[in-house]
A and B are shown apart, each in its own frame.
Chain A
Amino acid sequence: MIELDELLSMHEPPADLALSPADLKRLYWKYRGLLKDQQRDQAYWAATNDNLTQAFLKLDEKEKHLARAYEIIRDDLRVASRIQQSLLPSNYSPPELDVAVYNRQLTDVGGDYYDFFRTRSGRAAIGLFDISGHGVSAALVMAFLKAQFTLALDHLEAPGAIVDAVNQRSYGFLREVKKYATVNFVVLDHDALTYAAGGGFGLVMHRGGVSTFEKRSPFLGLRQRTYPQYTLPFNEGDLLVMYTDGIPESQDAEGRDYTVRRLNDLIVEHGDEPPARILERCIDDYESFRHEVSDDVTLVIARRKA
């Protein structure tokens, strides 16, 4: 007669299998014990499977909520983008200038903003701003700044005083919403231009040579300091270029910067061509250089007409 433990260690039962009553009894309980374990396992796995099913159902529900929320955000962004576009000067440019503009926002709504203004005395003015960050908040700041410049232009003529007034009015608000903006603000006279700048990039090609903007003043919203203004000759045929950091700070696949120098050299090299052609060359060069678009890009090129 074989013992139960020995029997269970064999691959198959012997032909003459016989067990003692005690081993048969043990086998019975062992079998019942395995059935009990199986029942417990089934109950456990059923509970975890139920939980998984519930989790998937909840996930489905959350996904639907997210999809709805995303749709609302998409709709809002479409509206915000449309509003932002309406704030930019779509077809208008000052008649005394031949102007070409490239403006591409990184997202639906972006932080680069350019605009054409008139002072109270009728002089043409150009503003270019790069608001920190992107998205709806930057676009709202842009709308706020547009309103501030429009207000300032009602009673001020000098670009330094205009930018100073806007900064004074905007400082508290911009600090509160943790935003700031670079600024280039140019007012034209009949044979010169006067500008105030804080952070932006500017270049003027005139008969006397090439001048770049002094940009030592702070961004709008960073400090409560006055903005000095500078005057450069700007006669018929002279070229004014203003841009944000989107192009010069773009990088190639190896992480090298495009640089201000590369852009300025390209502009100067082709400075006698029409603004639209210069713009095309700049954008082609930037597009062939950059690895990916990582910032808003704005480039304004204006030549003084007769």
Chain B
Amino acid sequence: MREDEEKPVRVFGALLVGYAQACVNLNIVAGRRGAELVGGLEVNRWYPLSRLRRLERLVLETYENSGPIMERVGMEMMFGWYHFGPGRDLIRSGADFLRFQSGSEGYASVIDGPDSMLGDFTLLTEDRERGRATLRSTTPLNRDMERGVLIGGMKAPGDLDFVDVAYMPDRQAFSIEYH
């Protein structure tokens, strides 16, 4: 085992709070589960990945068809990030979000741990003229939520009329179209 593999994967509190807040805003968890979701989270603390997994499970176990729900959670998270968080100061257009998310301030800023366990979130191709991009994701995050994050992040600035994020066949990459 390499030395860096002994470090646990951690997620930043802002991501967890954003996730929890999105679930609360959408009313998709309630009662005991809702209380567990938001209980004791701090924005500026690092938490083990298992904490995010636990929060994810609250939704995944509640909904038989959880894909569209997790996607909506991702979109709602980015709506909050842009309109009530730092997003407005960090990106100016929907297309900017693609570079932002694959850069050091995006995914990499909310997750920490050994490279081998973090995976990556990489912009493979980008054609701004045609409004097309492909992006590879091997992160440990829920793929449907990640898709929602991309849709929500690109739509949040309000300059795009059309955003579609489709899975590539292996679900390890997204094909993105925007206009």
Contact = CB atoms under 8 A, between A and B. Distances in A.
A46 interface: yes
A32 interface: yes
Contacts of A46: 65, 68
Contact of A29 (B62, B64, B66, B162): B162
Interface in A205-241: none
A55 B47 CA distance: 32
A47 interface: yes
A26 B64 CA distance: 37
A51 B64 contact: yes
A44 B160 contact: no
Which of A33, A47, A50 has the most chain B CB atoms closer than 10 A to its own CB? Answer: A47
Contact of A48 (B69, B164, B179): B69
A40 interface: yes
A32 B162 contact: yes
Q: Tell me the dominant secondary structure on chain A's binding face.
A: helix
B162 A30 contact: yes
Interface residues of A, number: 15
A29 B161 contact: yes
B163 interface: yes
A44 B163 CA distance: 17
Interface string A33-67: 10010001001101110110010000000000000
Contacts of B162: 29-30, 32-33, 36
Contacts of B161: 26, 29-30, 32-33
Nearest to B70: A47
Contacts of B151: 40
Contacts of A33: 160-163, 179
Interface in B44-88: 62-69, 71-72
Interface in B127-179: 151, 160-164, 179
Contacts of A36: 162-164
A59 to B, nearest CB: 14
A51 B68 contact: no
Contacts of A40: 68, 71-72, 151
B117 interface: no
A50 B72 contact: no
Contacts of B164: 36
A47 B67 contact: yes
Contacts of B24: none
Given A43-B68, A48-B28, A48-B69, 6 more contacts: A26-B161, A32-B162, A33-B179, A36-B162, A43-B67, A47-B63
19 contacts: A26-B179, A30-B161, A32-B161, A32-B179, A33-B162, A33-B163, A40-B72, A40-B151, A43-B68, A44-B68, A46-B65, A47-B63, A47-B69, A48-B28, A48-B63, A48-B69, A50-B64, A51-B62, A51-B64
Interface of A: 26, 29-30, 32-33, 36, 40, 43-44, 46-48, 50-51, 54
- Among all A-B residue pairs, the 10 with the closest Cβ atoms: A33-B162, A43-B68, A29-B179, A30-B161, A29-B161, A29-B162, A47-B68, A47-B65, A33-B161, A44-B68
